[in-house]
Structure formats: C-alpha cells, structure tokens
Amino acid sequence: STDLTSTVGYDSIIQHLNDGRKNCKEFEDFLKERAIIEEKYGKELINLSKKKPCGQTELNTLKRSLDVFKQQIDNVGQGHIQLAQNLREEAKKMEDFREKQKLHRKKIELIMEAIHKNRNLQYKKTMEMGGLVKLPCWAAVPLVLPLPYLSSLSHFWQLFLKLAQTKSALEDSDRSYQQNVTTLEKIREEWQKEHIKACEFFETQECERINYFRNALWLHVNQLSQDCVQNDEKYEEIRKSLEMCSIEKDMDFFVNLRKTGSLAPAPVTYENYYNTQRNAAPVRSPVPVPISRRGPLPTPTSAPGEPDYATVDGYSLI
C-alpha cells in the first residue's frame, strides 16, 4: 500500500498462512477419523473370523481351504489395524510440521509487529512535529504586517524581540522536524527491508507447506493402495487353497474314514423247516459280490441364471 502506516498486504499474507495451517489441521483430523474407522473395521473382521462358525464340520481339503479362508480374513483385519496405526503416525507428523511452522512464523511476526509499532509511532511523532513547525510560521506573519503602523520605537523593539524568539523557536522546531523525518526514513527503510525478508520467509514456508501437504496426501493414497495389494495377496492365498480342494479326494477321505467293510451282506436263503423232504436238495449259497466302485462323480452344474460353478480342473472366477 502507498500508505506508510497501512498493513493491508501484510495482514493478507498472515491470513493466507493461517488458512493454510487450518487446512493442514483439517487433513490431520481426516487421518485420525480414518484411523478410527480402519481400526474398528479390523477388529470386527478379527472377531468375525474367530467367533463365527464357518463350515466347522467339513473334512479334508475343503476344511483346509476354509481354515485358510478364516486365517486370511484374520490377517486382513490385522492389516486394517496396522493401517490405522500408520494413519495415526502420519497425522502426528502433520501436527508436528504444522506446529513447527507456527513456532518459526511467530518469531517473524513478533519482529514485524515491533517494527510496525515503531514505524507508526515515529510517523505520528513526525507529523505532529511538522504541525508545530507550521504554527510558529503562521504566528510570525502578524509580526511583520503591522510594521508601517507602529507608533513608537519601544513597541517596535518589543515586536522585533518577539520575532527573534519566534524565529529561533522556528529554527529549533525545523531542525527537530528534519531529524524526525530522517529518523522516520531510516525506520521506513528498515521496515521495508524486514518486510521483504518476512515475505520471503513466508513464501518459503508456504512452499514447504504445499509440498509437505502434497506428499502427505500422496503417501496416504499409497498406503491405501498397498493395503489393497496386501489384501489381494491374502485373498489369492484363499484362491490357491481352493484350487487344491479336490472333490474326489474329499469323497474318498469320507469313505475311508467311515467305511464299515468291503463286502455287502450275503443274500438271505430260504430254509423249509416244515417239510424236511423238500429241503433235501442242497441250496448253494451265492458267492458274496464285492461292492464295485461307483462311476465318475457328477459335475456340479448351475441352475439357469446362477453363476458358474468354479471347478477344480478348469478353475475360473465366478
């Protein structure tokens, strides 16, 4: 501003810096809230995987797949809890950065406040001194005008003495005024120099803040992406386990676990206890027939409108 005592531009810069600090605080609060959500979600997943039954009576390969499934869900929950801790650490870093900038900026602001105060006081003093110089000058005019009308020499010398005194006071006031103007100019130069230094410092701080804010946001997105990648790796373990799930093996496992023998009961033959003559001819007992292995297992099919069943040999996602 062209007004020496104005601080409009400086106040605008300080307001912008305070707004930037507020924006950092808002992002910091966002990270904290996200951390609470992630931690709560992770704990819920862990409780679900540990407390909720999920195929607990299954056998063999499918049972192993279900165990892997529950373990990986637990791992996903642990990952979300770890992500919550990472978010809290990033929020703390943002808080430390924000407070550090505030502390450094406060030192500059105190210097500028002192300079502004000193400048304004000197400006006010100088303007007041200028007014004192003008007053004797105007007071001296009537002393000169009435000279043609003086009636006595005594009166003339009285006026002359008063004029000399006024001139001396005027010279003193003028010297003092000149000194104040010189002092004010030195203060103005010092203020302008410090103002430029403060603006350069504030500019550096704002560049650092924008860069830090940008990197913090970038890191946050990377953390979320990394969490998704890690979760996908855990889910891939479940898919690999399901690929190892064999319907044929599970069926054989169950048969071997629960089998009661390899021969079927012999056919029941008729014996005539009423007429022994008719029972004279021996009746040959049939040879026990071993149970033949059943044919190939049926391929699971899907009803119209339902998703395809993911088979073991030709594995595919639904």
In a domain, 301, yes or no: no
pLDDT, one tens digit per residue, over 228-286 is 999 899 999 989 999 999 999 999 998 999 888 888 888 888 777 776 655 455 555 55
In a domain, 175, yes or no: yes
In a domain, 198, yes or no: yes
CA distance 93 to 211: 14
E strands in 151-215: none
Which residue segment(s) compose the domain that 204 sits in?
7-251
The neighbour count for residue 239, using CB atoms within 10 Å, is 15
In terms of pLDDT, which residue wins out, 195 or 269?
195
CATH number at residue 208: 1.20.1270.60
pLDDT of residue 59: 87
Residue 184, classed as helix, strand or coil, is helix
Quick check: 116 and 195 in contact, CB under 8 A? no
Mean pLDDT of the chain: 81
In a domain, 270, yes or no: no
pLDDT of residue 94: 95
In a domain, 157, yes or no: yes
pLDDT of residue 152: 63
In a domain, 68, yes or no: yes
The neighbour count for residue 230, using CB atoms within 10 Å, is 15
Q: Say whether pLDDT at 317 is over 50.
A: no
Quote the distance between the C-alpha of residue 270 and its chain's center. 88
The total of structural domains in the chain comes to 1
Token pair belonging to 271: 């014996």
Residue 161, classed as helix, strand or coil, is helix
Q: Say whether pLDDT at 143 is over 70.
A: no
CA distance 87 to 306: 41
Give the closest residue to 249 by CA, choosing from 98, 64, 38: 64
Q: Say whether pLDDT at 145 is over 60.
A: no
Q: Pick left, alpha or beta for residue 86 (phi over 0 → left; psi -120 to 50 → alpha; otherwise beta).
A: alpha
CA atoms lying within 13 Å on the CB side of residue 36: 5
CA atoms lying within 13 Å on the CB side of residue 51: 6
pLDDT, one tens digit per residue, over 37-95 is 999 999 999 999 998 888 888 888 888 998 999 999 999 999 999 999 999 999 999 99
